[in-house]
Amino acid sequence: MRVSTDTGRRILLGCILIGVCSPVWARFQPVSCKNAFTEEQEIAEGGKVAALVYSQMPVLPDSAPVSQYVRQLGGRLANYAPGYKWPYSFHVVAAEDINAFALPGGSIFVNLGTIQAAETEAQLAGVMAHEISHVVMRHSTCNLTKQQKYGTFAGLGQLGAAILLGNGALGSAVSQGIGIGAGLGFLKMSRDYEKQADLLGAGILYDAGYDPRGLPQFFESIQAKYGAGGAQFLSDHPNPGNRTEYVNAEIATLPPRTGAKVTSPEFARVHELAIKEKTYTAKDVQAGVWRQTGHYAAAVGGPAQVISAPAVVQAGGSVRLSRSALGIDAPMAVYQGRRFSINYPASWQKGEGKDGGVAFVPPNGAGEAGMSYGVLIDTVRPQNGVPDEASLARATAALVQQLSQQNAGLQQVGQMTSLRLGGQAANAVELRGRSPVVEGGSALAERDWLVTVARPDGDLTYMVFVSPEADFAILKPLYSAMAQSFHTQ
């Protein structure tokens, strides 16, 4: 139950007068949301994502002084986090963007740019308390649950993530969550979730002994310096509106206290160290220019070491394949799914999703870095179904738009075309983005062929054929033959 500030004061006055009751203060309480994941599943999935963060981002080793400070500060705050006791861990990314993100299960990453931008320890603690609050209220997996419920094409990322940890081509849940060549995906919070994290974060700050005003002060500081859309943190953590006002109103409901901690000599020392640390732009992080420096960790708790691109390619399979390795001339096999059938090269690997989706990839065509070659297939129901060709075109356009939003740099190439597959109306459109395949230290361009098919029951089946752009012409006849063999059931 919430009580107003005036009500709280009247209750306190009554307690003082009669001396038999304790004061009751208004406090924002964690809000639960519908979640299809158990705590154990959430921790396990978060661990997989954390492993990818280390393989694709310059994470300072835990032994670095800045990391030690952030870990100690995070641990102090986590002691006051309500609810389930998640295995919180705190890490620092050598990225210049002012940003921070929390993974499912409690791993929290803070960019050096954020530490550099904070003016006091309370401000930095406010950012971290905000991220802890997202973990407490399980916002990332609630987002995934919501996407599954409403059929917003979320199955694409989840299906690909089941194939050797990634789909890469169109931004698996893994890569979406950390902004590696993609949007924030399931970690991109709604304004309502942002407000909840602000309010709970202010309470965690207060309980940990900090001045809770550090949280709104940080937002005010970076907005004044960079403008409403000038810092990555502000775009990834959208302002719900009147942020300063509602956080200050929440703070006013907390019991008055003197001596709240604002900053410390330790923060000043670490802030100076952070200013001197090398940081990378988002483009440099993506290009992997940090890999050979020997300054960054390859695993949670690991020491600084050289992280070579070839090692990542071998682990993730993100290497350009030869024509023979693609299996273009291999005999075809028939896949009989729950709701469709399709022919695919018999030499390719098959991965099935629990909801009826499937992915086909040639050997070494997918891995930790994502899918480099192959096809993803799944079926969803758009909001109003797909009863005719006009609604099919709208659903296809909506899917293209969502994929473009979730994957930075992914754009439509050319016009949408109409065709018929297995007697059903279909649309096709080509997309161009960035491939997980790296040559010469740079990611290759990727060409994707999106095919959507209207089902007799009003559902929509979509197929995404993936290839580095340099190999697309070689694979296009095979992809066309696969699409022509598709039949709904």
**pLDDT over 80 (residue 97):** yes
Q: Judge whether 279 and 121 are in contact, CB under 8 Å.
A: no
Structure tokens at 65: 């002084």
**Of the ranges 8-17, 228-237, 277-286, 422-431, the best mean pLDDT one:** 422-431
Q: Average per-residue pLDDT in the chain?
A: 79
Per domain, the residue ranges of the chain are 31-305, 323-488
pTM of the complete model beyond 0.75: no
Separation CA 205–CA 221 (nearest Å): 18
**pLDDT over 60 (residue 450):** yes
Q: Judge whether 452 and 462 are in contact, CB under 8 Å.
A: yes
Which of 338, 334, 326, 354 is closest to 465 using CA atoms?
326
Topology at the third CATH level for domain 323-488: Protein Transport Mog1p; Chain A (3.40.1000)
**pLDDT over 90 (residue 296):** yes
| pLDDT score at 285 | 81
| pLDDT score at 353 | 62
Phi, psi (rounded to 5 degrees) for 290: -85, -10
Separation CA 487–CA 421 (nearest Å): 7
Phi, psi (rounded to 5 degrees) for 162: -80, -15
Separation CA 292–CA 49 (nearest Å): 22
Percent of the chain with pLDDT over 90: 37
**Three-state SS across 57-84?**
CCECCCCCHHHHHHHHHHHHHHCCCCCC
| Average pLDDT score over residue span 367-373 | 68
| pLDDT score at 111 | 94
**pLDDT over 80 (residue 16):** no
Q: Judge whether 165 and 371 are in contact, CB under 8 Å.
A: no
Q: Judge whether 428 and 417 are in contact, CB under 8 Å.
A: yes
Q: Report the range of poorest mean pLDDT among 47-56, 66-75, 191-200, 207-216.
A: 47-56
Structure tokens at 22: 């304790």
Percent of the chain with pLDDT over 70: 77
- Using a 10 angstrom Cβ sphere, with 0-12 exposed, 13-18 middle and 19 or more buried, the burial of residue 195 is buried
| pLDDT score at 386 | 86
| pLDDT score at 170 | 29
CA distances from 152 to 254, 375, 381, 455 (A): 40, 19, 8, 17
pLDDT, tens digit, 9 for 90 and up, residues 59-89? 999 999 999 999 999 999 999 999 999 999 9
Which of 433, 321, 431 is closest to 366 using CA atoms?
321
- Region of residue 295 (phi > 0: left; psi between -120 and 50: alpha; otherwise: beta): alpha
| Average pLDDT score over residue span 475-489 | 93
| pLDDT score at 7 | 35
144 or 110: which leads in pLDDT: 110
CA atoms within 13 A on the CB side of 476: 12
| pLDDT score at 26 | 60
Which of 177, 186, 189, 236 is closest to 53 using CA atoms?
177
**pLDDT over 90 (residue 483):** yes
3-state secondary structure of 103: coil
Q: Judge whether 145 and 195 are in contact, CB under 8 Å.
A: no
Which of 108, 109, 105 is closest to 48 using CA atoms?
105
- Using a 10 angstrom Cβ sphere, with 0-12 exposed, 13-18 middle and 19 or more buried, the burial of residue 322 is exposed
pLDDT, tens digit, 9 for 90 and up, residues 404-426? 766 656 789 989 999 999 899 99
Q: Judge whether 95 and 57 are in contact, CB under 8 Å.
A: yes
| pLDDT score at 192 | 87
Q: Report the range of poorest mean pLDDT among 64-78, 136-150, 198-212.
A: 136-150
Task: List residues bridging with 465 in a β-sheet.
Answer: 375, 449
DSSP assignment string, 120-170: SHHHHHHHHHHHHHHHHTTHHHHHHHHHHHHT-STHHHHHHHTTTT---TT
Separation CA 428–CA 206 (nearest Å): 55
